[in-house]
Amino acid sequence: MRQFVERHSFWSFVILVALGVFLWLIFAVWPEWLEAVLGRKKTFVNTFLNGLTLAGLYFLVASGFTLVFGLMRNVNLAHGSMYLLGAYIGYEAAEATGNWFIGLAVAFLAIAVTGILLQVLIFRRMEGDALRQTMVTIGISIIAADLMLAIWSGATYQFDPPEWLIGAAELPIISAVRSSGEAVYLKYPLYRLTVLGVAVAVGIALWLFLNRTRVGMMIRAGVNDRDMLSATGVNVQLVFALVFAIGAGLAGLAGVIGGTALSIAPGEDIRYLLASLVVVIVGGLGSVTGAAIGALLIGLAEQFGLAYFPTYGVVLTFLIMVVVLAVRPQGVMGQA
């Protein structure tokens, strides 16, 4: 962060001013002329919070993808299928036990094991061959989608969150002012705020794991020079299997969390695979911080696009990716 400010003082000032304006829009009482331009403040703030919580969900999926694709350079286009499979497995476990947290744990463990199997049986045999990895994992995703459709049909499923996460929380954000002068505060679903909190916690934990632990240093060293790391006595394949387990497990975890916030249905695998690709490309390969920034940009763009430009809203997401690729091809936080 300090290096960015030192190198790009002008853009740092612009970002700081934009952040100040945005915070004013969130917390201040809007004058009439502003509501005439942007509509009701409640709609604007709800759209912002929807984008923020959607970004949290995108980050949970993309954080696993950035470990496998961005950090290890393994092209796993079956990552979206892992998300959807984790959602279905978690749903079955939660329904059978009546416990949402058991469904969450089962989904994480089951998809983590699937990730290890993919690494051992497929990626280890095609190391460094991106084209073969791409074609094989596309085939796996198609087969997995058909199998899931045969088992769970085309019906839409949705988890019931724990009772203490049902309801809305009152936020210290004024949504309107009554004629009497009394402020009306915004209420927002508690579960979606929890999703954002979980995403932040996972992001911090991943960053600390990769940058402040011995295993994290071995992972980064193995990606750059696996022969040298192997010569020090480290079991490189075991380290890589661990990365795949974490990356896949996060996809399964996100499947349960996303299936509770939204729904589980055929086609969600493609949606979240595309979102993960865009997030990793925008944020920068192998950067957890970049994945967080990319998820934030894409989540906000998607929700504001749907709210204010419904006809062209979907274009905003890919417009961001095009601009980033044109201006900074390595991504926001990627290494030049």
The full set of domain ranges for the chain reads 47-275
Residue 266 phi, psi (nearest 5): -55, 140
pLDDT of residue 159: 84
What are the residues whose beta carbons fall under 8 Å from the beta carbon of 123, sequence distance 6 or more?
Answer: 74, 76, 133, 244
Cβ proximity of 127 and 73 under 8 Å: no
pLDDT score recorded for residue 94? 94
Whole-structure pTM value: 0.91
pLDDT per position in the chain (336 positions), as tens? 566 666 667 767 888 898 898 888 888 888 888 887 777 888 888 999 999 999 999 999 998 888 887 677 788 899 999 999 999 999 999 999 999 999 999 999 999 999 999 999 988 888 878 889 999 999 999 999 999 999 998 888 888 888 888 888 888 887 776 666 677 888 899 999 999 999 999 999 999 988 888 887 877 777 667 777 777 777 878 888 888 899 999 999 999 999 998 889 998 999 899 988 899 889 888 788 889 999 999 999 999 988 888 877 778 888 888 888 888 888 888 765
Instruction: Please tell me the distance from the alpha carbon of residue 293 to that of residue 284, in angstroms, as a whole number.
Output: 9
22 HSE (CA, 13 A, CB side): 9
Q: In angstroms, what CA-CA distances link 17 with 66, 293, 332?
A: 30, 18, 19
Query: How far, in Å, are 6, 145, 150, 157, 251 from residue 153 at the CA level?
Result: 55, 11, 5, 10, 21
Strand partners, 169: 188
Within its chain, how far is the Cα of 55 from the centroid? 6
Pairing of the two strands 168-177 and 183-189? antiparallel
